[in-house]
Amino acid sequence: MLRLAMTTDAETFDRVREPLAARGITVKHVQTKERSLRVSDGERGGGGGDDSDEAEFDGFDVGFVYPSRLMEGAVVDARLSVPWVNGRDAVLASRNKAGVLAALDDAGLPTPRTTLVSNPVDEAAVTEAVAAFSYPVVVKPNSATRGVGVATAGDLDSLLGVVDYLNLVHDYRATGDKSYLIQEFLPDARDYRAMIVDGAYAGAVRRELSADARERGRWKHNVHRGAEATGVDLPERGRELAERAADVLGIDYLGVDLLAAGDRLVVNETNARPTVDAATKYEPGFYDRLAGLIERTAART
Protein backbone atom coordinates (compact mmCIF):
# COMPACT_ATOMS: atom_id res chain seq x y z
CA MET A 1 0.00 0.00 0.00
CA LEU A 2 1.06 3.57 -0.60
CA ARG A 3 1.81 5.58 2.54
CA LEU A 4 0.45 9.13 2.48
CA ALA A 5 1.80 11.77 4.87
CA MET A 6 -0.84 14.22 6.08
CA THR A 7 0.21 17.23 8.13
CA THR A 8 -3.22 17.95 9.55
CA ASP A 9 -5.04 15.84 12.12
CA ALA A 10 -8.31 17.79 11.93
CA GLU A 11 -11.52 17.00 10.01
CA THR A 12 -9.91 16.08 6.70
CA PHE A 13 -7.61 13.49 8.29
CA ASP A 14 -10.49 11.69 10.01
CA ARG A 15 -12.67 11.70 6.91
CA VAL A 16 -10.19 10.45 4.32
CA ARG A 17 -8.47 7.64 6.22
CA GLU A 18 -10.99 4.84 5.67
CA PRO A 19 -12.01 5.70 2.09
CA LEU A 20 -8.38 5.95 1.01
CA ALA A 21 -7.39 2.78 2.90
CA ALA A 22 -10.07 0.94 0.92
CA ARG A 23 -8.25 2.14 -2.20
CA GLY A 24 -4.80 1.00 -1.16
CA ILE A 25 -3.53 4.19 0.49
CA THR A 26 -2.53 4.28 4.17
CA VAL A 27 -2.85 7.76 5.70
CA LYS A 28 -0.55 8.71 8.59
CA HIS A 29 -0.33 11.98 10.48
CA VAL A 30 2.98 13.84 10.57
CA GLN A 31 3.06 16.57 13.21
CA THR A 32 4.68 19.74 11.89
CA LYS A 33 3.81 22.37 14.51
CA GLU A 34 3.67 22.86 18.27
CA ARG A 35 6.67 20.59 18.76
CA SER A 36 10.44 20.62 18.36
CA LEU A 37 12.04 19.46 15.10
CA ARG A 38 15.70 18.49 15.05
CA VAL A 39 17.35 20.30 12.15
CA SER A 40 20.92 18.98 12.19
CA ASP A 41 23.50 17.29 14.41
CA GLY A 42 26.51 19.32 13.38
CA GLU A 43 29.51 17.30 12.32
CA ARG A 44 27.67 13.97 12.12
CA GLY A 45 25.60 15.12 9.12
CA GLY A 46 23.57 12.53 7.29
CA GLY A 47 20.20 14.28 7.57
CA GLY A 48 20.18 15.18 11.26
CA GLY A 49 18.22 13.67 14.10
CA ASP A 50 18.61 10.43 16.00
CA ASP A 51 17.15 7.09 14.90
CA SER A 52 13.77 7.79 16.49
CA ASP A 53 13.54 11.12 14.69
CA GLU A 54 14.39 9.50 11.37
CA ALA A 55 11.88 6.66 11.85
CA GLU A 56 9.08 9.18 12.23
CA PHE A 57 9.59 10.36 8.65
CA ASP A 58 10.63 7.09 7.02
CA GLY A 59 8.58 4.99 4.63
CA PHE A 60 6.29 7.59 3.08
CA ASP A 61 5.62 7.62 -0.65
CA VAL A 62 3.75 10.89 -1.07
CA GLY A 63 2.51 13.92 0.87
CA PHE A 64 -1.01 15.34 0.73
CA VAL A 65 -0.60 19.11 0.98
CA TYR A 66 2.45 21.09 2.06
CA PRO A 67 2.34 22.20 5.73
CA SER A 68 0.55 25.48 6.46
CA ARG A 69 3.53 26.79 8.44
CA LEU A 70 6.17 27.22 5.79
CA MET A 71 9.20 27.41 8.10
CA GLU A 72 8.41 24.12 9.83
CA GLY A 73 7.29 22.75 6.47
CA ALA A 74 10.74 23.18 4.97
CA VAL A 75 12.26 20.91 7.63
CA VAL A 76 9.52 18.28 7.36
CA ASP A 77 9.70 18.40 3.55
CA ALA A 78 13.45 17.69 3.69
CA ARG A 79 12.94 14.81 6.11
CA LEU A 80 10.07 13.20 4.16
CA SER A 81 11.62 13.75 0.71
CA VAL A 82 8.38 12.96 -1.12
CA PRO A 83 6.32 14.67 -3.81
CA TRP A 84 3.23 16.55 -2.62
CA VAL A 85 -0.23 16.57 -4.18
CA ASN A 86 -0.07 20.32 -3.53
CA GLY A 87 3.45 21.52 -2.92
CA ARG A 88 4.83 24.71 -1.45
CA ASP A 89 4.35 26.71 -4.64
CA ALA A 90 0.67 25.78 -4.88
CA VAL A 91 0.02 26.68 -1.24
CA LEU A 92 1.83 30.00 -1.58
CA ALA A 93 0.06 30.89 -4.84
CA SER A 94 -3.40 30.21 -3.43
CA ARG A 95 -2.67 32.00 -0.15
CA ASN A 96 -1.95 35.25 -2.01
CA LYS A 97 -5.53 36.45 -2.53
CA ALA A 98 -4.51 39.44 -4.64
CA GLY A 99 -2.24 37.35 -6.82
CA VAL A 100 -5.02 34.82 -7.42
CA LEU A 101 -7.58 37.47 -8.33
CA ALA A 102 -5.11 39.28 -10.61
CA ALA A 103 -4.32 36.05 -12.47
CA LEU A 104 -7.99 35.14 -12.83
CA ASP A 105 -8.95 38.63 -13.95
CA ASP A 106 -6.14 38.60 -16.51
CA ALA A 107 -7.54 35.31 -17.84
CA GLY A 108 -11.00 36.86 -18.21
CA LEU A 109 -12.67 35.16 -15.22
CA PRO A 110 -15.20 37.15 -13.15
CA THR A 111 -13.97 38.36 -9.76
CA PRO A 112 -15.11 41.05 -7.30
CA ARG A 113 -13.71 44.55 -7.84
CA THR A 114 -10.57 44.50 -5.69
CA THR A 115 -7.64 46.81 -4.93
CA LEU A 116 -4.45 45.77 -3.14
CA VAL A 117 -2.96 48.25 -0.67
CA SER A 118 0.69 47.73 0.26
CA ASN A 119 1.61 49.38 3.56
CA PRO A 120 2.87 51.80 4.61
CA VAL A 121 0.63 54.35 2.85
CA ASP A 122 -0.97 57.54 4.11
CA GLU A 123 -4.69 58.29 4.39
CA ALA A 124 -4.66 60.05 1.03
CA ALA A 125 -3.58 56.84 -0.68
CA VAL A 126 -6.34 54.85 1.05
CA THR A 127 -8.89 57.50 0.11
CA GLU A 128 -7.77 57.33 -3.52
CA ALA A 129 -7.81 53.52 -3.50
CA VAL A 130 -11.44 53.37 -2.35
CA ALA A 131 -12.66 56.15 -4.66
CA ALA A 132 -13.84 53.68 -7.31
CA PHE A 133 -15.96 51.70 -4.82
CA SER A 134 -19.43 52.13 -3.36
CA TYR A 135 -19.85 51.64 0.37
CA PRO A 136 -19.93 49.37 2.22
CA VAL A 137 -16.59 47.81 1.27
CA VAL A 138 -14.84 44.70 2.51
CA VAL A 139 -11.37 45.01 4.04
CA LYS A 140 -9.33 41.82 4.38
CA PRO A 141 -5.73 40.79 5.01
CA ASN A 142 -4.20 39.50 1.80
CA SER A 143 -2.95 36.17 3.13
CA ALA A 144 -5.08 35.27 6.16
CA THR A 145 -7.49 32.31 6.15
CA ARG A 146 -10.81 31.28 7.70
CA GLY A 147 -12.19 34.84 7.57
CA VAL A 148 -9.63 36.12 10.07
CA GLY A 149 -9.42 39.92 10.07
CA VAL A 150 -12.13 40.42 7.43
CA ALA A 151 -14.35 43.44 8.12
CA THR A 152 -16.77 45.76 6.38
CA ALA A 153 -16.63 49.55 6.40
CA GLY A 154 -19.69 51.67 5.70
CA ASP A 155 -17.92 54.97 5.15
CA LEU A 156 -14.46 56.48 4.83
CA ASP A 157 -13.97 57.15 8.54
CA SER A 158 -14.85 53.53 9.36
CA LEU A 159 -12.47 52.30 6.67
CA LEU A 160 -9.63 54.43 7.99
CA GLY A 161 -10.33 53.09 11.47
CA VAL A 162 -9.94 49.50 10.27
CA VAL A 163 -6.77 50.50 8.44
CA ASP A 164 -5.41 52.01 11.67
CA TYR A 165 -5.48 48.56 13.25
CA LEU A 166 -3.82 47.00 10.20
CA ASN A 167 -1.13 49.67 10.41
CA LEU A 168 -0.38 48.67 13.99
CA VAL A 169 0.10 45.06 12.93
CA HIS A 170 2.15 45.95 9.87
CA ASP A 171 4.38 48.26 11.91
CA TYR A 172 5.87 45.19 13.59
CA ARG A 173 9.08 44.38 11.67
CA ALA A 174 8.56 40.62 11.65
CA THR A 175 5.19 40.87 9.92
CA GLY A 176 5.69 39.19 6.57
CA ASP A 177 2.71 40.27 4.47
CA LYS A 178 2.07 44.00 4.84
CA SER A 179 -0.73 44.18 2.29
CA TYR A 180 -4.51 44.14 2.47
CA LEU A 181 -7.42 44.20 0.07
CA ILE A 182 -10.27 46.64 -0.39
CA GLN A 183 -13.06 44.75 -2.12
CA GLU A 184 -16.61 45.40 -3.21
CA PHE A 185 -19.28 44.04 -0.87
CA LEU A 186 -21.88 41.78 -2.47
CA PRO A 187 -24.95 41.94 -0.21
CA ASP A 188 -26.91 38.72 0.38
CA ALA A 189 -24.43 36.76 -1.72
CA ARG A 190 -24.67 32.98 -1.70
CA ASP A 191 -21.35 31.44 -0.69
CA TYR A 192 -20.17 28.21 -2.35
CA ARG A 193 -17.03 26.10 -2.02
CA ALA A 194 -16.42 24.03 -5.15
CA MET A 195 -13.93 21.18 -4.91
CA ILE A 196 -11.59 20.51 -7.81
CA VAL A 197 -9.77 17.15 -7.90
CA ASP A 198 -7.28 16.36 -10.65
CA GLY A 199 -8.39 19.52 -12.45
CA ALA A 200 -12.08 18.55 -12.64
CA TYR A 201 -15.16 19.50 -10.61
CA ALA A 202 -15.79 16.99 -7.82
CA GLY A 203 -18.67 18.54 -5.85
CA ALA A 204 -19.66 21.63 -3.92
CA VAL A 205 -21.16 22.87 -0.69
CA ARG A 206 -23.08 25.99 0.14
CA ARG A 207 -21.86 27.65 3.33
CA GLU A 208 -24.54 29.51 5.21
CA LEU A 209 -25.03 31.06 8.63
CA SER A 210 -28.25 30.39 10.49
CA ALA A 211 -31.14 32.79 10.01
CA ASP A 212 -30.70 33.92 13.62
CA ALA A 213 -27.03 34.74 13.05
CA ARG A 214 -27.86 36.71 9.91
CA GLU A 215 -30.54 38.67 11.75
CA ARG A 216 -27.88 39.65 14.30
CA GLY A 217 -25.82 41.17 11.50
CA ARG A 218 -23.41 38.30 10.83
CA TRP A 219 -22.39 37.98 7.17
CA LYS A 220 -19.19 35.91 6.94
CA HIS A 221 -20.23 32.40 5.92
CA ASN A 222 -17.09 30.62 7.12
CA VAL A 223 -17.61 27.14 8.52
CA HIS A 224 -14.95 27.83 11.15
CA ARG A 225 -17.12 30.73 12.34
CA GLY A 226 -20.32 28.78 12.71
CA ALA A 227 -21.72 28.46 9.19
CA GLU A 228 -23.10 25.12 8.02
CA ALA A 229 -21.91 23.48 4.80
CA THR A 230 -24.65 21.77 2.81
CA GLY A 231 -24.00 19.71 -0.30
CA VAL A 232 -25.46 21.31 -3.44
CA ASP A 233 -25.79 20.53 -7.12
CA LEU A 234 -23.80 23.44 -8.47
CA PRO A 235 -25.03 24.66 -11.88
CA GLU A 236 -22.84 24.01 -14.91
CA ARG A 237 -21.82 27.66 -15.01
CA GLY A 238 -20.32 27.39 -11.53
CA ARG A 239 -18.63 24.08 -12.27
CA GLU A 240 -16.94 25.46 -15.36
CA LEU A 241 -15.84 28.61 -13.54
CA ALA A 242 -14.24 26.59 -10.73
CA GLU A 243 -12.44 24.33 -13.20
CA ARG A 244 -11.18 27.29 -15.20
CA ALA A 245 -9.86 28.92 -12.01
CA ALA A 246 -7.91 25.78 -11.09
CA ASP A 247 -6.55 25.54 -14.64
CA VAL A 248 -5.38 29.17 -14.65
CA LEU A 249 -3.58 28.66 -11.34
CA GLY A 250 -2.21 25.26 -12.33
CA ILE A 251 -3.39 23.60 -9.10
CA ASP A 252 -4.96 20.15 -9.47
CA TYR A 253 -6.47 19.90 -5.98
CA LEU A 254 -8.21 23.13 -5.06
CA GLY A 255 -11.11 24.63 -3.17
CA VAL A 256 -12.67 27.47 -5.17
CA ASP A 257 -14.88 29.93 -3.30
CA LEU A 258 -17.68 31.38 -5.41
CA LEU A 259 -20.09 34.18 -4.56
CA ALA A 260 -23.44 34.43 -6.33
CA ALA A 261 -25.40 37.67 -6.12
CA GLY A 262 -28.23 38.32 -8.54
CA ASP A 263 -26.97 37.43 -12.00
CA ARG A 264 -23.32 37.65 -10.95
CA LEU A 265 -21.13 34.67 -10.16
CA VAL A 266 -17.55 35.47 -9.16
CA VAL A 267 -14.47 33.70 -7.82
CA ASN A 268 -13.78 35.26 -4.43
CA GLU A 269 -10.86 33.18 -3.13
CA THR A 270 -9.14 29.82 -3.53
CA ASN A 271 -7.66 27.37 -1.03
CA ALA A 272 -4.92 24.88 -1.87
CA ARG A 273 -5.41 23.26 1.55
CA PRO A 274 -9.19 22.73 1.39
CA THR A 275 -11.04 20.82 4.09
CA VAL A 276 -12.61 17.61 2.80
CA ASP A 277 -16.28 17.42 3.82
CA ALA A 278 -18.52 14.35 4.12
CA ALA A 279 -18.45 12.20 0.98
CA THR A 280 -22.24 12.54 0.59
CA LYS A 281 -21.68 16.21 -0.30
CA TYR A 282 -19.52 15.38 -3.32
CA GLU A 283 -19.93 13.73 -6.69
CA PRO A 284 -19.93 9.91 -6.99
CA GLY A 285 -16.39 8.70 -7.47
CA PHE A 286 -14.85 11.55 -5.45
CA TYR A 287 -12.50 9.24 -3.55
CA ASP A 288 -11.63 7.23 -6.64
CA ARG A 289 -10.43 10.41 -8.31
CA LEU A 290 -8.62 11.62 -5.19
CA ALA A 291 -6.86 8.27 -4.85
CA GLY A 292 -5.90 8.41 -8.52
CA LEU A 293 -4.36 11.87 -8.06
CA ILE A 294 -2.39 10.67 -5.03
CA GLU A 295 -1.11 7.62 -6.91
CA ARG A 296 -0.01 9.70 -9.90
CA THR A 297 1.74 12.15 -7.59
CA ALA A 298 3.59 9.31 -5.86
CA ALA A 299 4.70 7.99 -9.25
CA ARG A 300 6.67 11.20 -9.85
CA THR A 301 9.45 9.97 -7.55
Which CATH number characterizes residue 29's domain? 3.40.50
Cβ-in-10-Å burial (0-12, 13-18, 19+) of 85 comes to: buried
pLDDT at 45: 57
Q: Which residues are CB-neighbours of 19 under 8 A, at least 6 positions away?
A: 279, 287
Asked whether residue 133 is assigned to any structural domain, the reply reads: yes
Residues 28 and 42 in one domain: yes
Whether residue 202 is found in the same domain as residue 177: no
- In sequence order, the β-bridge partners of residue 229 are 207
Q: Are residues 213 and 180 in the same domain?
A: no
Q: What pLDDT was estimated at residue 208?
A: 81
> Which tens digit of pLDDT belongs to each residue from 128-164?
999 999 999 999 999 876 666 789 999 999 999 999 9
Q: Are residues 229 and 212 in the same domain?
A: yes
- Domain CATH number, residue 129: 3.30.1490.20
228 lies in a domain?
yes
Which CATH number do you get for residue 222? 3.30.470.20
Q: What digits encode the pLDDT tens for the residues 257-282? A: 999 999 999 999 999 999 898 888 99
- Give pLDDT, residue 290: 97
Total structural domains within the chain: 3
> Could you tell me if 135 and 212 lie in one domain?
no
**Residue 27 falls inside a structural domain:** yes
159 and 176 part of one domain = yes
Residues whose CB falls within 8 Å of the CB of residue 167, separated by 6 or more in sequence, listed in order: 119, 120
| Boundaries of domain holding 134 | 113-184
Q: What is the pLDDT of residues 5-40, one digit of tens each?
A: 999 877 899 999 999 999 999 999 999 999 999 898
Q: What is the mean pLDDT of the chain?
A: 90
Flag whether 102 is in a domain: no
pTM (2 decimals)? 0.90
Q: How far is CA 195 from CA 15, 71, 252, 272, in A?
A: 15, 27, 10, 10
6-44 b/e (C-beta count within 10 Å ≥ 16 → b): bbbeeebbebbbebbeebebebeebebeeeebeeeeeee
Same domain, 53 and 138: no
Determine the Cα–Cα distance for residues 149 and 169; give it in Å rounded to an integer. Answer: 11
Whether residues 204 and 236 fall in one domain: yes
Q: What is the pLDDT of residue 64?
A: 97
Q: Is residue 233, in this structure, part of any structural domain at all?
A: yes
Q: What is the pLDDT of residues 166-225, one digit of tens each?
A: 888 887 776 778 899 999 999 889 999 999 999 999 999 998 876 676 666 655 666 665
Is there a domain that residue 94 lies in? Answer: no
